[in-house]
């Protein structure tokens, strides 16, 4: 009976693993099948570098450079916010906070990850955007800056959690040796702990970037929805994810507009794939380094 149970569990887990792989392959096939036909209507470089996105005009324009630029601006702004706060939170929780403080702060930070993105979108649209508009005296608070601010706050738990895990794997002997040589806590933290956990911290930053790039509902609600190349962080923008969400319901199946939206999804998939591959490479190097140290 024991061998039968083990065999059942083995096949069950094998089927589950290959089912995940099959779903991934199916998604990739659909993206390529529905996205590549856009090249029948517009060449590759005009599609990527075109500065006009007017898919319903006659004749239509399918240049996605404004959408790529919007995603880039929003991602950079969000990373500027979430990286210092996320890494700083991880360092404080792991190195400086007492047990009582950690018991309160850690669940509070992780609670941010449990809040649905649409709630962040409502909060940004109703509270943050009008506040930014009044504070900076700009025409609208629905802009790249607001989207970056809200997305940066959303990504803090992901960055903080992974960075704290990386810090926890730093051997205690490293810190003890540093203290034994006369270094204070700050010197030990900056010269020993952070460099030793550098690969894991880098992984947390890259995965946080992946979360930001792929977010949809929040940027749809707070970015402003203007498909133009942004001139500043306070300009309304429309990132790639929000374009797909806003227009897919209106696109005629099999049309050029429909194919263009799938092509944007394919580009997003490739971007996030590259980001996650980089994170996996860094993570493997980090695990090998720890294995050699131990």
- pTM of the complete model: 0.84
Number of domains within the chain = 2
Residues 36 and 169 in one domain: no
Q: Do 25 and 52 fall into the same domain?
A: no
pLDDT string in tens for the chain (294-residue length): 777 878 888 888 888 888 888 998 999 999 999 999 999 998 899 999 988 898 888 888 899 999 999 999 999 999 999 999 999 888 888 887 778 888 888 888 888 888 888 899 999 999 999 999 999 888 888 999 999 999 999 989 888 888 888 888 888 888 888 888 888 878 888 888 888 887 788 888 888 888 888 888 889 899 988 888 888 889 999 999 999 988 888 888 888 999 999 999 999 999 888 888 887 787 676 666 555 444
Same domain (yes/no): 234, 199: yes
Domain holding 140: CATH number?
Answer: 1.10.3720.10
Q: Where do runs of H (alpha helix) occur along the chain?
A: 2-35, 44-49, 65-91, 99-114, 117-123, 129-136, 144-168, 172-180, 185-188, 194-196, 198-214, 217-222, 240-247, 256-293
Which domain range does residue 6 map to?
A: 2-40
Are residues 224 and 179 located together in one domain of the fold?
yes
Residues 96 and 215 in one domain: yes
109 in the same domain as 6? no
């Amino acid at each position: 009976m024991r061998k039968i149970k083990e065999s059942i569990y083995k096949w069950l887990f094998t089927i589950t693993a290959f089912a995940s792989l099959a779903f991934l392959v199916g998604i990739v096939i659909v993206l390529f099948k529905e996205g590549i036909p856009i090249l029948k209507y517009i060449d590759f470089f005009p599609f990527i570098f075109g500065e006009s996105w007017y898919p319903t005009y006659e004749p239509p324009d399918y240049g996605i450079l404004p959408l790529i630029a919007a995603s880039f601006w929003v991602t950079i702004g969000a990373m500027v916010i979430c990286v210092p706060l996320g890494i700083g939170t991880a360092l404080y929780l792991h190195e400086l906070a007492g047990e009582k403080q950690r018991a309160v702060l850690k669940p509070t930070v992780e609670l941010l990850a449990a809040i649905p993105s649409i709630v962040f979108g409502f909060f940004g649209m109703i509270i943050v955007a009008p506040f930014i508009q009044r504070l900076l005296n700009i025409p609208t608070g629905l802009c790249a800056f607001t989207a970056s601010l809200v997305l940066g706050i959303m990504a803090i738990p992901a960055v903080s959690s992974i960075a704290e895990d990386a810090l926890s794997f730093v051997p205690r002997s490293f810190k003890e040796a540093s203290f034994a040589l006369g270094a204070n806590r700050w010197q030990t933290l900056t010269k020993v702990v952070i460099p030793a956990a550098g690969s894991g911290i880098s992984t947390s930053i890259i995965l946080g970037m992946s979360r930001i790039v792929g977010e949809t509902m929040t940027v749809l609600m707070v970015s402003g929805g203007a498909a133009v190349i942004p001139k500043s962080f306070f300009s309304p923008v429309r990132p790639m994810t929000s374009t797909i969400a806003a227009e897919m319901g209106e696109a005629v199946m099999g049309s050029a507009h429909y194919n263009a939206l799938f092509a944007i999804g394919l580009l997003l998939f490739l971007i996030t794939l590259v980001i996650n591959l980089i994170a996996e490479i860094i993570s493997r190097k980090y695990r090998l380094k720890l294995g050699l140290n131990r």
